[in-house]
Amino acid sequence: MKSLGVIAIILVLLLSSCTNSEEVDKLSLISAVGLEKIADNEYKIIIQYLMPKKDQEPFPITKEVDGLTIYEANNNLNEFLPRKPYWSHNFIILLSEELAKEGIRRQLDFFRRNPEMRQDMLVAITESPRKILYNLQEQQLSGETLKLIAGQASERNGLGEVSTLHKVYQNLFFKKPFLTITHIFLDGENPRIDGVSIFDKDKYITTIKGDEARGLGLINLKNKYSSVTVNCLDNENRQITFNLTNTHKKKNAYVNDLGIFKIHLTLEFEASLTESHCMRNLSNTDTIKKLEKSLNKKIKELAKKTIEHSQQNVEIDYFGFGNLLYLNHPKKWKEIEGEYKTVYKNANIQLKIKTRIVQTGAVN
Amino acid sequence: MEKLSTSLDQNYKFFQQRLNHCEDVEFRILNPYKVKGNEIIFMYCENVIDELIVFETLFEKIIQNYPKKNEKIDQSILKDVFPTTSIFFLDDVQEIISYLFYGFCIILFPNSNKAGLVCYSQKNFRQVGEPQSEVVIRGPREGFVEVIRTNIAMIRSKLPNANLKVRLKKIGTESKTFTAVIYMENKVPLDTLQKVLTRIDKIDIESTHESGSIERRLEEHPFSLFPQIVHTERPDKLVSDVMEGRIAIIVDGSPHALILPSTFKMFLQASEDYYERYWLGAALRVVRTFAFLIALLLPSFYIGVTTFHLEMLPTELALAIATQKEGTPFSAFFEALLMEVFFELLREAGIRLPMPVGSAVSIVGGLVIGDAAIQAGIASPAMVIVVALTGIASFAIPKYSFAIPLRILRFGLMIITSFLGLFGLMIAIIAIFIHITSLSSFGVPYFELSYSSFKEMFYFVRPSHLKNKNKFTEGEFK
């Protein structure tokens, strides 16, 4: 009886085993996928897959396919691919702006649901995924390049967060979703990260660029590099540039007795001087103090600009302040949840910036 | 006839008949004064005895001291002539014959039912040399030889202590092979010793020429793939294990001494661990543990990852493997099987061949397996790396006997993984795990997952199962 039980357990274990044995040389590794809307409920799916060649770099091939859903498109792909499409190693999901306006959650469902999918693929918004993917093919670049560019832009230039699939989904399921996704722009021949797309829940609203995008980076990112340039103390026409690292960030959100949504934001940075066109002696403590002050002012300006944009222009909280309030004061959040848009619009956001110049470089 | 009779004639006839066609046995009758009934008979095996000394000392001295015509000769002459030599008297025929072939000169006296035995054994065997299977960089260079006397002498010289007991047993109904059970009286756990001795007595075997055949009969689980008794060629290892409270068994004719009880971790230890600095020893044991895992799991893990769980790999690696696999005709499993079989063939061929040919084979084999297989498109470079790494890892295990289960299990794991992926591999690992934890060696758990076991492995402390509560006391055990 005992041995019978053991056999039964073994059989159960065996029955639940994997059945998806696939030889690696029978797979088409998909490296990028673009989704575009043609008409209502009609999508064009553009995929780029890598064709491995012996003793050569795998070269990317772009194909287009129609389908109501991505999985249907995946099956349709088999009509002209020599091997089974394999999605796990996809680098990037490109969504067209038009499509994103309808909401991105259902488009990403396929990638989330599949248990074999890697969750570190980049989600990006662009005007036309088709153009970008064909452009990549012309240059013989795989989707990995785009992912790497996005990483560089975020890490070395403080331009938004790298919006991986995992993070996007995580942000979508917060109590108050706040979603920012990397935006890719085709600058002539070269794909380029030019800003951050902001979302209302999962619907695309607009893309912020330049100073506003950088301000968002300063507020949201931690320990990422970003450069800030201020004017010289003695000469308005000359500049001095610092590299900033965020060392400390404190956010506090509450609703006061008068019903005003209040946010206290303290940002601390360490700055190192990387380039100076000024003639001042930098070994002087006063000079450093003054420079720190003007840095504070500049950072505040940048951050304010973004905050103003979010409060006045688009009226969307894409910093996650609402979520912060929910985490700190869930009861208060329930009170204002329904009219959050107006509450946020009139919110009082107080900024406190502290900068410390830690390095002035090898020369004085 | 089991005992000697008092009649010399009868004894002589009996031996002549019993040793009929044993043409290496010589009989000499000595009767210098030609007195009837006053002769003695010598018996010896000419190949295992130093004949020159027999003639020069034994014969000559006895002739010189031979009693005069009117005096009877008897056993006392031996004691009188050789007061310093070890001489003893026996009446059991079987024993006398086995001593005859060990190199004793047998002397039969008239009117006596006891024969005198004098040892003139001289066998030319292999010299003591460096152990072949356990080479060390630092440590003694002597290894056991095939002669049990030499081996015991080596141990005694390392441990001149009365607590070191050497109990001789004879194994084999036909061969009567001398077997020594060696232990430290004040350290050995009594119950283990009792178990070992009774089990040795129970061994039913006609003849034995190597401790391996005894090892199999001593083990509690002889059909398990995993060896449960460590064998060593090094006297220093044997002595240090005996000092820990283990029991050693030496079989005449075999340079491999058995050490028991043995546990899993002993197979991953080398004597050098104790001679070099602590940190090196501890680090090397970690390395060997990894070598064990690699030798067992790497090919099947590779098959599982590349055919079932490609998403587990970093994308660059997945692409590199895909590129390498391009143009190879076989599935990952078949490729791995092919290369592993190649490798096993090479290893088997290399071991049996004489040294100069062996190295040639390994060069050709290395080229064939490595480069040519890739060029010909039979295997992908990644697979060659996997197989080579597996092979090297199995060589890194200090005990050859312990690499054998890994070699066999590796194929089983590969097959199960090719069907069930890493899931199947996991089931197989659990099965192996259950098996080795269920094994025991003379009442000691073979494999233990515990803090103390871990400490013994990496801090070099004395195993807890040998810290005996019931110490051996004198006279308690016979």
Q: Taking every pair of C-alpha atoms in chain B, what is the biggest distance, in angstroms? A: 106
Per-residue model confidence (pLDDT) at position B225 = 92
Provide, for chain B, the percentages of residues in helix, strand and coil under a 3-state DSSP scheme, each rounded to the nearest 5. Answer: 50, 15, 35
Tokens standing for residue A340:
């959050």
Q: Is the pLDDT of residue B57 over 90?
A: no
- Minimum-distance CB partner of A50 among B308, B319, B427: B319
Higher pLDDT, A146 or B120: A146
pLDDT, tens only, B436-475: 999 988 888 888 888 878 887 777 766 666 665 444 444 4
pLDDT, tens only, A19-74: 577 788 888 889 999 999 888 777 889 999 988 877 777 788 898 988 888 888 88
User: CB neighbours (10 Å) of residue A360?
Assistant: 18
Chain A residues in contact with B426 (beta carbon < 8 A): none
Q: Is the pLDDT of residue A11 over 70?
A: no
Determine how β-strand A84-86 pairs with β-strand A27-39.
parallel
User: CB neighbours (10 Å) of residue A287?
Assistant: 17
DSSP string, B420-434: HHHHHHHHHHHHHHH
Integer Cα distance of B235 and B40 in angstroms: 43
- Minimum-distance CB partner of B308 among A20, A52, A118: A20
Per-residue model confidence (pLDDT) at position B478 = 38
- The answer for residues whose C-beta is within 8 angstroms of residue B431's C-beta and 6 or more apart is none
Chain A residues in contact with B310 (beta carbon < 8 A): 22, 24, 27, 86, 88-89
pLDDT, tens only, B147-156: 888 899 999 9
Per-residue model confidence (pLDDT) at position B334 = 92
Mean pLDDT of B120-146: 85
Integer Cα distance of B384 and B325 in angstroms: 12
Q: Give the CA-trace dihedral at A100, A104, A106, A112, to 10 degrees.
A: 140
Is the ipTM higher than 0.85? The answer is no
Query: Which H or E run contains B212?
Result: helix B211-218
| pLDDT more than 90, % of chain B | 23
Please, which pLDDT band fits residue B476 given cuts at 50, 70 and 90?
very low
- The angle at the Cα of A102, spanning A183 to A345, to the nearest 5 degrees, equals 75
Per-residue model confidence (pLDDT) at position A256 = 85
pLDDT, tens only, B112-130: 888 888 888 777 778 888 8
Chain A residues in contact with B375 (beta carbon < 8 A): none
Per-residue model confidence (pLDDT) at position B468 = 54
Binary contact (A27, B322; C-beta < 8 A): yes
Per-residue model confidence (pLDDT) at position A188 = 83
- How close A57 comes to chain B (CA, Å)? 8
| pLDDT more than 70, % of chain B | 96
Tell me the angle at which helices B278-307 and B400-438 cross, rounded to the nearest 10 degrees. Answer: 80
Please, which pLDDT band fits residue B58 given cuts at 50, 70 and 90?
confident
Q: What is the mean pLDDT of chain B?
A: 85
Closest residue, chain A, to B306 (C-alpha): A24
- How close A17 comes to chain B (CA, Å)? 6
Binary contact (A17, B307; C-beta < 8 A): no
pLDDT, tens only, A178-215: 888 999 988 888 888 888 899 988 899 999 888 888 88
- DSSP assignment letter at B57: I
Closest residue, chain A, to B380 (C-alpha): A54
Mean pLDDT of B61-72: 80
- How close B304 comes to chain A (CA, Å)? 9
Please, which pLDDT band fits residue B247 given cuts at 50, 70 and 90?
very high
* Residue in A10, A11, A20, A25 to test binding to B, most B beta-carbons within 10 Å: A25
Tokens standing for residue B49:
């005895």
Q: Is the pLDDT of residue B258 over 80?
A: yes
Binary contact (B310, A22; C-beta < 8 A): yes
Per-residue model confidence (pLDDT) at position B183 = 93
Mean pLDDT of B20-39: 85
Mean pLDDT of A228-246: 86
- A18 CB within 8 Å of a chain B CB: yes
Q: Give the CA-trace dihedral at A302, A305, A306, A309, to 10 degrees.
A: -170
pLDDT, tens only, B69-88: 777 787 888 888 877 777 88
Where does residue B245 fall: left (phi above 0), alpha (psi -120 to 50 degrees), or beta otherwise?
A: left
Closest residue, chain A, to B328 (C-alpha): A25
Q: Which of B190, B166, B194, B192 is nearest to B180 (CA)?
A: B166
User: CB neighbours (10 Å) of residue A43?
Assistant: 20
Distances (CA, A) of A353 to A155, A160, A296, A357: 21, 19, 6, 13
Integer Cα distance of B396 and B350 in angstroms: 17
